[in-house]
Amino acid sequence: MLDAFVAEFKTGEELGASFTLAIDGEVVVDMRAGHADRARTRPFRRNTLAPVFSITKIVAALMIARLVDQGKLSYTQTVASIWPEFAQAGKAEITVEQVLSHQAGLSGLDKPIDRILWYDAPAICERLAAMEPLWPVGSASGYHPHTYGFLVGEIFRRVDGRSLGTAMREDLAIPLGLDLWIGLPDTEHRRCAEVAFWQKPGTLKSTHRAVEYALKAKWASPGGQGLGAWRRGEFPGGNGLATGPALARLLGALACGGSLAGVHVLSPEAMDLMRAQRIVGRDLVLPHTVSWGAGVMRNAPYMHYGPSPDAFGHAGWGGCVAFADPARGVSGAYLLNRHGPKAIGDERAIRLVAAAYDCL
């Protein structure tokens, strides 16, 4: 496993990275190397916070699963029963699980906005509530890279009363001692890794409007406020920051019965509901066939999270990944700051996970 990790740096594919493996929620491997900044002046340390991008979605999905576990919400409940304004434009029957599994047809905003507006969650939610789905709901999944966080965050807020990022810190991160954030205070910004983004043109060739509004439109993503504002904001679909041990331990709770260090995270029954397949097929936005649970990527058909068909997790932009394997009690996280070109299936992550399983 160490050889596989070191090899990534010898080939020049990494700037800074960490790989963490936990068994039954206890960290057994915690490797890191390289630099946290593009100038190569800061080492990638144990407390370096890496942007985990869409891995944030599995944390948001876990927070929704906890509401289901507590009997405050049902996956089959309509979103409009919680959020009445959402019933507009033919969306009255869309369910919570359809939103979580990217079936709601709202992969991006279909009308131009100033990119600064993404920092105004009520305004974005108002537009999503009024919008007509981009494809027949339930007919396919279409990955919601940015809108997912607003939809799930608003569902959570309407049921719980707190923002999802605040609740995650209060209910999980602080009690479990996890260095995991959705909305980062200024005092922690100095620990953040800088990202070396992939500079070559993207490979998404689909002309479906779901892709256009999700990723290609000039207004498709937040902008105009600077990196500090992005870190401070709460975007439950994509601006989480974490250390590898934090993610590996949190996913470890899902790999070993639902509790961690005496803290109840999720019952086994609720975990099974969360990871149960909602839809499988060629995604309209991602260039892959994806099996979606309620906010989690199931291991089949590509088996990126090791050999177990029961494993599940989520990939993040640039190549990072976090996963849980209930059949083996194993969880892990691969974080990095030099992006690769793939949204799913970065070869670096696949090689490291395979090497980890070879050692078990």
DSSP conformational letter for 213: I
Contact assessment for residue 269 and residue 198, using Cβ atoms and an 8 Å cutoff: no
| Alpha helix (H) residue ranges in 196-345 | 209-211, 227-232, 244-255, 268-275
Whether 54 sits among the annotated catalytic residues: the reply is yes
What are 282's strand-pairing partners?
289
- Residue 35 pairs in a beta bridge with 43
Tell me phi and psi for residue 335, to 5 degrees.
-120, 150
- For residue 267, give every residue at least 6 positions away whose Cβ sits within 8 Å of its Cβ, in sequence order, or none: 69, 258
**Catalytic pick among 54, 141, 308, 331:** 54
203 three-class SS: coil
Buried b (16+ CB within 10 A) or exposed e, 63-94: bbbbbbbeeebebeebbbebbeebbeeebeeb
What value, to the nearest 5°, has the Cα angle with vertex 349 and ends 347 and 354?
95
Distances, alpha carbon 95 to alpha carbons 70, 77, 211, 232, 276, in Å? 18, 5, 22, 30, 15
Structure tokens at 11: 């080939």
Please provide residue 325's backbone torsions phi and psi, each rounded to the nearest 5 degrees: -130, 90
Q: Nearest CA to 248 among 168, 324, 182?
A: 324
Q: What does the H/E/C string look like for 145-197?
A: CCHHHHHHHHHHHHHHCCCHHHHHHHHHHHHHCCCEECCCCHHHHHHECCCEC
Peptide bond into 301 cis (omega under 30): yes
Catalytic site residues?
Answer: 54
